[in-house]
Amino acid sequence: MFDILIIGSGGAGLSCALEAKKRGQRVAVICQSNPTNAATCMAQGGLNGVVYTDEIDTPSLHVKDTLKSSVGLANEDRVTHMCEGAREDILWLDSIGMPFSRKKDRIARRKFGAASQDRTTYSQDYTGLKLLHTLYDSCLKEDIEFMNNSFVLDLIVENSTCKGVVLLHIDTGEIKAYKCNAVVLATGGYAGIYHGFSTNAIESTGDGIALALKHGAKLSDMEFVQFHPTSLKNSSVLVSESARGAGGFLVNDKGERFVDELMTRDEVSRAVFLQIQKGNKVFLDIRHLGNEYISKNLPQEKKLIYIHEHLDPSLEPIPVSPAAHYSMGGIDVDENLQSSINGLYAVGECSNTKVHGANRLGGNSLLEIVHFGRYLGKNINEVSLHVEIEEHEKRVKKELFKLLSTKKSDTFFPLRDKLGLELFEKVGIFRDKKGLREIQDKVEKIHNEYNQLSISDTNLKDNYWLVSHLKFANSLVVAKAVIYSALKREESRGAHYRNDFKNMDKQAKHSFVEYEDIRFKR
């Protein structure tokens, strides 16, 4: 029996695990594949924070920039908590071996969009990768238990209290229920549901969010999906903001610069998208930075650009377009990071800690996952309650065997493509009531088609098709929550831009969604 089960081995999950273990808790981290296979590894640009007290930058300037970018929707207390704690978090990372890039004797910092100071710490452009490997190494040193290749099928919730989880151990095919005193969802964001139009990996389907919602947790601000202005045109692979921060220009095919590249991401994305809608091509031009600078500071980006666009960014401009990148909304949590279900906590991109509001500042997510991951590990409350876990194991097995015994079998892949395209077109950078109503109906149809499908491989062992199939069901739930919330918000604010409600309401309000609001209708 574990005290705490942490679902997700990204930066949020591992930061939480390290601090909880320090308090003597018996912790296990569950991840659907290998521990370092998480979105955190993909982060290139950096992690924000004021590190030195003898420079111009201060935590209050960081708070000010974050609140401005959030367009009134962030919680000032939590933003202050995060920005004031950043120094200690960065020095902690440094102390456990994070190989930050350095300038002379100091941790180096660079400029990111909408930041008033050069405040983003980094490790070349492998920041997330180095961060996650450093955390994972520390977890190994601390003997933290991992359950790899273990997919969370369901939560065990009784009387509004979470008492454990049911897992599919993919390697063995075993379905097993686990009891614990607290469950932490650290399952990452949902921008991957914009399949084909997202910088995220296909695994970012918002599983924890869908599971929590089904069991009665509230979600908030789900309509706020951040589009990144510079993803590679043919693959949606990200070119980090560090390229614009270093002085990269955005130009159209007439050679015109059409936007201040360092405005907030929502503004730059809209400007890029409007160019594309006019029939113009858009390029990120970093040739003037020179090969030496690019190879030294942006080596990963250079490689990815070569692999996906077959060009050398020191010689040619890079074709780009916006893609879904980050989810500001998620599981609504209180100041202790507890969801509306007792004993069920959420941290990282799957949660809405309300530090990003309507528009996240680049570099603030890596800070959030480390800061609030650690905070939760230090403060989590446990409730030990009785539960008959075998009943839950039987229930989940029965549901799964029903799916596997259905005669008709087909792949959901075309439905995933369809959902991604529809979301990009109708719940994308610009939205309106007509498009949102249309997609609401279309998603119901997709869901109906999905419910007719089964899986031809009926083995439970190593059945990755089954796992992807189940993850698509989570995508559908999350997509409905995004559409529902986008329809409800009749204003334009940050990343949510309504062509039919272009103005912003005087008062900023959070939006909420519950399972009853989006339940599948036949």
Ligand X SMILES: Cc1cc2nc3c(=O)[nH]c(=O)nc-3n(C[C@H](O)[C@H](O)[C@H](O)COP(=O)(O)OP(=O)(O)OC[C@H]3O[C@@H](n4cnc5c(N)ncnc54)[C@H](O)[C@@H]3O)c2cc1C
Binding region for ligand X (CB under 6 A)? 7-13, 30-33, 38-40, 42-47, 127-128, 151-152, 186-189, 199-200, 207, 238, 240, 326, 348-349, 363-366, 369
Neighbour-count burial for 374-413, b at 16+ CB within 10 Å, e otherwise: bbbbeebeeeeeebebeebbeebbeebeebbeeeeeeebe
Q: How far is the CB of 252 from ligand X (least distance, A)?
A: 24
Beta bridge partners of 331: 219, 351
| Cβ within 8 Å of residue 456, ≥6 positions away | 409
Q: How far is the CB of 432 from ligand X (least distance, A)?
A: 27
Q: How far is the CB of 125 from ligand X (least distance, A)?
A: 8
**339 or 364, CB closer to ligand X?**
364
Helix (H) or strand (E) segment spanning residue 3: strand 2-7
Q: DSSP letter at 288?
A: G
Q: How far is the CB of 495 from ligand X (least distance, A)?
A: 14
Q: How far is the CB of 208 from ligand X (least distance, A)?
A: 6
Q: How far is the CB of 34 from ligand X (least distance, A)?
A: 8
Please identify which of the residues 110, 119, 265, 374 carries the catalytic annotation: 265
Mutual angle of helices 11-22 and 127-141, in 10-degree steps: 30
Helix (H) or strand (E) segment spanning residue 98: none
Mutual angle of helices 290-297 and 299-309, in 10-degree steps: 100
Torsion of the alpha carbons at 350, 352, 356 and 361, rounded to the nearest 10: -10
Q: How far is the CB of 355 from ligand X (least distance, A)?
A: 11
Beta bridge partners of 332: 352
**How many Cβ atoms sit within 10 Å of the Cβ of residue 28?**
18
Neighbour-count burial for 327-339, b at 16+ CB within 10 Å, e otherwise: bbbbbbbeeebbb
**187 or 230, CB closer to ligand X?**
187
| Cβ within 8 Å of residue 102, ≥6 positions away | 108
Binning the chain into helix, strand and coil, the percentages to the nearest 5 are 40, 20, 40
Q: In which residue are the tokens 């980090």 written?
A: 240
Helix (H) or strand (E) segment spanning residue 302: helix 299-309
**126 or 501, CB closer to ligand X?**
126
Q: How far is the CB of 274 from ligand X (least distance, A)?
A: 24
**366 or 466, CB closer to ligand X?**
366
- Taking alpha carbons only, the member of 382, 358, 324, 361 closest to residue 23 is 382
Amino acid found at 28: A
Does the annotation count 265 as an active-site position?
A: yes
Helix (H) or strand (E) segment spanning residue 169: strand 161-169
| Cβ within 8 Å of residue 161, ≥6 positions away | 341, 342, 343, 383, 385
What is d(CA 212, CA 330) in angstroms, rounded to the nearest whole number?
10
Which residues have a catalytic role annotated?
265
